[in-house]
Amino acid sequence: MESKVRSFVRKGEVTKTGGAGGGYVQAVGAKPGCHGVSLVSSGLDDLDHILPLRNPLSLIVGGGIPVGGLVMVMEDIEAPHHMPLLRFFMAQGLVHSQPLFFATPLPSPQAFLGTLPAIASRSSGAASDNSKEGDLRIAWQYRRFLNEQQALEERRYRYEFCNDFDLRKPAERSLFTGATIKCESLARGAHLDSLLDHCRVFISNLARYTGEGQLVGRLAFQSLCAPQCMQSCTDWEMLRFLQSLKSLLRVSNAVALITFPATLLTPSMAIRWQHLADILISVEAVLDDNKEMAGMLTDYPDILGFLRIHKLASINTQVPTIPEAAMHAMKVVRRKKLVLERLLFAPVDATSGDSKTGGAAGLLCGRPANASSPLDF
């Protein structure tokens, strides 16, 4: 007799497998996404909004990195634009008191932790609140409600899904006290077996927290295929490590972010790495002397670099998520906040006259240089 199996599964059901396996994670800093996947923040508000999982709710709940997912950032060897993404990812985890695992080819990983950004102070917001209080004339006995409101705001801010970070200030020491941080240096080569064992122990420790007090762990790997790391292992061993890591993540409450200089790998290997990623991002440097680009974009001097989305996560679904725009500009606002903006193209300058030489529009719409007739495209 065939046993009858329910196809109905309660939406919020928490199963033992956790992660992308099923059930939402009830943890600080995690929120439910679609297809039964929980989301955590990448630490960069704008990036979270680029990473929505496809459903109508995404407009309301926004997006994030799916728990159990593997994010890969392809580095540009000319500019270190992957570093802020890595720092924000780590700092956001610390703000939410999430355990952190960090592996880097730097000789002292602890020193890198000192460069994590601090939460942006809300001085401007607080000042306006004070002024509001000054304007508002209320009886003194109701003032305590204002204070309560403020305390509530503070607490909400503490548990906000994604915080604003100030690039100029290093993180407060209080963030590190009591935090579970495990650091590994790969300066003497990546010993992948022991590294995988450390990851396994780190991830299995997360499974101890169940029910309401679940924790989402974050694993950050900097420049995993840097020459220092690769001196003690082969390309295939590295791929095997990545696949093992991905399998570990899938059935646990953890997310991982790996940055890697793709140009140092052979093209075939780089593609294999990309296939293993759930979310694939690349960062590109801005060339100073690129006049064509400067003419095309309105705010070219402010742009720090470009961020390109190659692939978005499709866990528990077959429908791929297509980002609205693949290319985004990374900008720093008032030297402290990193924002991502969609590229804005400058309007065509009609007054420039000669369309053959005038500006970017001429380049794009004009005939090719070796065309015989002007109508030849």
Q: Return the residue of 274, 295, 363, 367 that touches another protein, per CB under 8 A.
A: 274
Stretch that binds another protein, among 88-96, 180-188, 267-275, 297-305 (CB under 8 A): 267-275
Which tokens in the block code for residue 54?
């496809």
Among 166, 317, 343, 362, binds another protein (CB under 8 A): 317
**Length of the chain in terms of residues written:** 377
Q: How many chain residues touch another protein (CB under 8 A)?
A: 47
- Which one of 71-79, 132-140, 306-314, 366-374 is the stretch in contact with another protein (CB under 8 A)? 306-314
- Among 61, 67, 63, which Cα is nearest to 93's? 67
Phi-psi domain of 20 (left: phi exceeds 0; alpha: psi -120 through 50; beta: other): alpha
Contact with another protein (CB under 8 A): which of 143, 169, 275, 342?
275
CA distances, 4 to each of 1, 8, 9, 153, 359 (Å)? 9, 12, 14, 49, 69
Report the residue from 124, 141, 318, 372 that binds another protein according to the rule CB under 8 A. Answer: 318
Nearest residue (CB) to another protein, 49 versus 54: 54
Q: What is the DSSP letter of 267?
A: H
Task: Give Dmax (Cα) for the chain.
Answer: 85
Residue closer to another protein (CB basis): 193 or 299 = 193
Residue 145 binding another protein, by CB under 8 A: no
Nearer to another protein, 171 or 207 (CB): 207
**Could you tell me if 220 and 256 are in contact, meaning their C-beta atoms sit under 8 angstroms apart?**
yes
Considering only 182, 191, 240, 308, the residue that binds another protein (CB under 8 A) is 240
Query: Contact 91/174 with Cβ under 8 angstroms?
Result: no
Nearest-angstrom CA–CA distance, 71 and 82: 12
User: What burial class does residue 367 get, using C-beta atoms within 10 Å of its C-beta: 0-12 exposed, 13-18 middle, 19+ buried?
Assistant: middle
Tell me the per-residue interface mask from 200 to 229 with another protein, x by CB under 8 A, - otherwise.
x-----------------------------
Q: Judged by CB, which is closer to another protein: 49, or 246?
A: 246
- 141 or 318: whose CB is closer to another protein? 318
Asked if 36 is part of the footprint of another protein (rule: CB under 8 A), the reply reads yes
Name the token pair of 358. 């005038």
Q: Report the site for another protein in 325-344 (rule: CB under 8 A).
A: 326
Residues of 156-186 as b/e, b for ≥16 C-beta within 10 angstroms? Answer: eeeebbbbbbbbeeebeeebeeeeeebbbbb
CB of 250 to another protein, least distance (A): 5
CB distance 113 to 126 below 8 Å: no
CA angle 304, 306, 311 (to 5 degrees): 150
Say whether residue 250 binds another protein (CB under 8 A).
yes
CA distance 58 to 49: 9
Should residue 322 be labelled a site residue for another protein when binding is judged by CB under 8 A? yes
Question: Of 2-10, 94-102, 255-263, 352-360, which segment contacts another protein by CB under 8 A?
Answer: 2-10
CB of 262 to another protein, least distance (A): 12
Kindly list the residues in this chain that would bind another protein in the complex (CB under 8 A).
2-5, 7, 17, 20-22, 35-36, 193, 196-197, 200, 235-237, 239-240, 243-244, 246-248, 250-251, 266-268, 271-272, 274-275, 280, 310-311, 314-320, 322-323, 326
